[in-house]
Amino acid sequence: MAAAEEASRPFAGLSDVSISEDIPVEGDISVPLGSTRRDDEFSTLDEPVKETILRDLRAVGNKFVHVLYPKRSTALLRDWDLWGPLLLCVTLALLLQGGAADSDDQGGPQFAEVFVIVWFGSIIITLNSKLLGGTISFFQSLCVLGYCIMPLTAAMAVCRIVLVGGSGTVSFAVRLAVVTVSFGWSTFASTAFLADSQPPNRKALVVYPVFLFYFVIGWMILTFSPSQ
């Protein structure tokens, strides 16, 4: 308390204060290290690694649930992270491999092409929405677009399972239905999250590139044909 009183004296008259004598160089400015109180916001250095990983995984899983049941919530936007989109993009790119890729020329998209399309597509759509006057931040938008690829990744997994059974007309019809539903779901989920941040008379201008983006991904999934 004495230190506080001493420290408040300079506010009375700054010109009167001489530095060497009147201001005590003491105080309590250090963060208590190694204290037993668990303050996760300031010091996560001491927790077990499992706890750190699980916290991030829980956050990612929470966002997956939000994509599955898209409501106008801000959970995806407030605590954005890019782990989920990275995971989904890698999964999708891996699942799209092993196709009719015996000749590089005529096959499906390469791993790098899927990555480029997903990430550069998301970046371009984000830039587009920001240039049109959207209020969402860059990484929040990337987060939303990446997480909403989840239905399409699930559709890809289903398609590969269906293709194990055969690649005739029935399997194509099933795959078409699955991809169409998941494309609609993805577009609907992302517009549910992004819609509020756009100026009202430009909503369609922002939604159309999102629609195109998921349409192209859906097309890549639908045209995946297994090698023979």
CA nearest neighbour of 101 among 227, 219, 221, 224: 227
**Neighbouring residues of 111: CB distance < 8 A, sequence distance ≥ 6:** 93, 94, 96, 97
Q: How many CB atoms lie within 10 A of CB 211?
A: 16
DSSP string, 89-151: HHHHHHHT-SBS-SSTTTSS--HHHHHHHHHHHHHHHHHHHHHTT--S-HHHHHHHHHHTTHH
Nearest-approach distance from CB 168 to other proteins, in angstroms: 12
Binding residue count for other proteins, defined by CB under 8 A: 31
Q: Which two tokens stand for residue 155?
A: 């559709």
- The answer to whether 18 contacts other proteins (rule: CB under 8 A) is no
Write the Ramachandran bin of 30: left for phi over 0, alpha for psi from -120 to 50, otherwise beta: beta
Question: Which whole-number Å values give the CA distances from 30 to 26, 45, 69, 226, in the listed order?
Answer: 11, 16, 45, 62
- Judged by CB under 8 A, the stretch of 3-11, 32-40, 147-155, 199-207 that binds other proteins is 199-207
User: Minimum distance from CB of 63 to other proteins (Å)?
Assistant: 28
Q: Which stretch binds other proteins (CB under 8 A): 12-20, 42-50, 73-81, 200-208?
A: 200-208
Q: List the x/- string, 73-112, binding to other proteins by CB under 8 A.
A: --------------------------xx---xxxxxxx--
Q: Across the strands, what pairs with 27?
A: none
| Residue from the set 1, 25, 161, 204 that interacts with other proteins by CB under 8 A | 204
Least distance CB 124 / other proteins (angstroms) = 8
216 belongs to the binding site for other proteins (CB under 8 A): yes
* 203 near other proteins, judged by CB under 8 A: yes
The beta-carbon contacts of 3-6 under 8 Å, at least 24 apart in sequence, are 3/27, 3/28
Among 8, 20, 36, 228, binds other proteins (CB under 8 A): 228
Report in angstroms how near the CB of residue 2 gets to other proteins at its nearest.
52
Residue type at position 202 = R
Q: Applying CB under 8 A, does 184 fall inside the site for other proteins? A: no
Regarding 180 and contact with other proteins (CB under 8 A), the answer is no
Alpha-carbon distances, residue 96 vs 64, 112, 114 (angstroms): 21, 11, 8
Residues from 105 through 144 that contact other proteins (CB under 8 A): 105-110, 113, 128, 130-133
For the bound state, the minimum distance from the C-beta of residue 127 to other proteins, rounded and expressed in Å, comes to: 9
Question: What does the binding site for other proteins look like in residue numbers (CB under 8 A)?
Answer: 99-100, 104-110, 113, 128, 130-133, 201-205, 208-209, 212, 215-216, 219-220, 223-225, 228
